[in-house]
Structure 1
Amino acid sequence: MAAHTQDDGGARRGNRWRPLIWGAAGVALLLPLAAMRWFPASGVEWTRSDFAVMGALLFAACAAYELAAWLSASRAYRAAAGIAIATGFLTVWVNLAVGMIGDEGNPWNLLFVGVLGVGLVGALVARLRAGGMARAMLAVALAQAAVAVLALVAGADPRGAMFALGFAVPWLLSAVLFGKATRAAVRADARS
C-alpha cells in the first residue's frame, strides 16, 4: 500500500461534501438565533455561551470529518466515520441540552463521557485504520448498551434508558461500514 493511502487501496481525494457539511453546520448554528429573533414564543433562549459551545461542537465534528475524508477515499470508511462523528456529536448535544437519561444533571449521563472515551482511545489505538476502527466502534456500541442497561436495571428513567440504548445502533452501523472498508482494502491489495 502506498504511503499516501490508508486502508482503501486508492489515493486520497478531496472532500466534495465540504461545502454542504460546513454550510449545514453554519445553518444549524443560525437556527436558534433566528428562532429567538423572529419566533420569541418558540421558547428558544440561548446565551452567548450556548452559541459558543454549539459552535465549538460543530467545528470539532466538521473538522473530524475533514480528517476522515483526507485519510481515505473509501466511501465505506467516510460513511462509517460520518456516522460515528454524528453519533458522538448527538451524544454530547443531547446530554448538554436535556440529558439522555433523566435531565441533564442526572449522574447517569456522565457515563456517556466514558462511552465517548472508549471511542477516542479505540481510534488512537487503531491509528484510525479501518480494521481497528471497526473494533473500536463495536466496543463503543457495547459500552453504550451497557450504560443503558445498567441504568435501566438501577431504576433510572426507562424511556431515557431505551433512548440511550438506541444510540448503540449507529455505533454498530459504523462498525459494519469500517469492516466493509477493511474488506475492500484487502481485496484491492490482493489484486495489486
Structure 2
Amino acid sequence: MNGTGPMGGTMETEARLTRVLRRLVWGGAVFAWCVPLAARLLLPGMEWTTFDFVVWAIMLLAAAALCEIGLRLSGQLAYRAGVIVAVGTSFLITWSNLAVGIIGDEDNPLNQIFFGVIAIALVGAFLVRFRPKGMAAAMLVTALAQFGTAFVALAYEHIVFVIVGVFTLGWLLSVWLFREAARGETPRTAA
C-alpha cells in the first residue's frame, strides 16, 4: 500500500529523499574535514595544528547534527532546505570569524556580534517551536540583525558590507524557504 506523505509524494519517495539528504550532509562533513588534511599533506605551507583539526571537526559535526535535526523536524523539502541554508550560513559566519575575523582580525572583540546573530537565530527557532511560519519570522529578525552588524562595524571604521551582505542573503534565503514550507503546511484540524 502506497501512502502519501506530508509533501504529497509517496512515503517511499520521501524516505529515499531523506536518506539522500542525510548522506549528502554527513558525507559532505566528512569530505570537508578531509580537504585541509589533504592540503596539509600536499602543500608544504599548510600549517594546521591538531587543535585546528579538532575545532574543524567539532564545527562540522555540530553543523551536520543540526541539519540532521532539521531533516527530522519536517518532511517538507522547503523546510529542510531552510534549515540547511540557516545552518550553512551560521557555519560560514563561525568559520570566517574564527579563521581570520570578519572585522579586523580574529582577535578583534567586535567580532563577537556575529556570534550574537547566530544566537538570535537559535533563540528565535526555539521560541517559535521550529514551526515554518515562525521560523520565517525568526530568520527575518536574524537577517535584520545581520544587516545591522555592518553599521556597527562602520561605526568603528570597518567596512564589511560585502561579507555581511552575503550572510544576510543566506538568512533571507532561509526566510523564503520557511515561508514556502508554511504555505505547503496542511491546516491542523481540531481534535
Q: TM-score range by the shorter chain?
A: 0.7 to 0.9
Residue in 1 aligned with 2:27? 23
Letter in 2 for 1:166: V
Letter in 1 for 2:187: D
Shift of 1:32: 1.1
Determine what percentage of the aligned residue pairs are the same residue: 44
Query: 2: distance between equivalents of 1:84 and 1:17?
Result: 16
8 A contact 1:8–1:182 mirrored in 2: no
Higher relative contact order (CA 8 A, sep 6+): 1
Match 1:36 to one of 18, 28, 40: 40
| Structure 1 gap ranges (5+) | none
8 A contact 1:100–1:161 mirrored in 2: no
Give the TM-score of the pair, scaled to structure 1.
Answer: 0.86
Residue in 1 aligned with 2:72? 70
Shift of 1:91: 0.5
Give the TM-score of the pair, scaled to structure 2.
Answer: 0.86
Could you say what the CA RMSD is over the residues aligned between the two structures, in angstroms? 2.2
Letter in 2 for 1:20: L
SS at match of 2:20: coil
Query: 1: distance between equivalents of 2:67 and 2:38?
Result: 27
Query: 1: distance between equivalents of 2:141 and 2:121?
Result: 7
8 A contact 1:8–1:72 mirrored in 2: no
Shift of 1:105: 1.2
Q: Note the alpha carbon deviations across 1:75-101, whole angstroms, 9 max, x for none.
A: 110111110000001110000001112
Query: 1: distance between equivalents of 2:68 and 2:108?
Result: 33
Match 2:119 to one of 113, 117, 120: 117
| Structure 2 gap ranges (5+) | none
Query: How many residues are matched?
Result: 180
Query: 2: distance between equivalents of 1:49 and 1:90?
Result: 19
SS at match of 1:45: coil
Query: 1: distance between equivalents of 2:54 and 2:83?
Result: 24
Letter in 2 for 1:23: G
Residue range with higher mean Cα deviation, 125-134 or 145-154: 145-154
Shift of 1:64: 0.8
Query: 1: distance between equivalents of 2:181 and 2:78?
Result: 5
Shift of 1:165: 3.1
Query: 2: distance between equivalents of 1:170 and 1:36?
Result: 30
Query: 2: distance between equivalents of 1:101 and 1:164?
Result: 10
SS at match of 2:130: coil
Query: 2: distance between equivalents of 1:58 and 1:135?
Result: 26
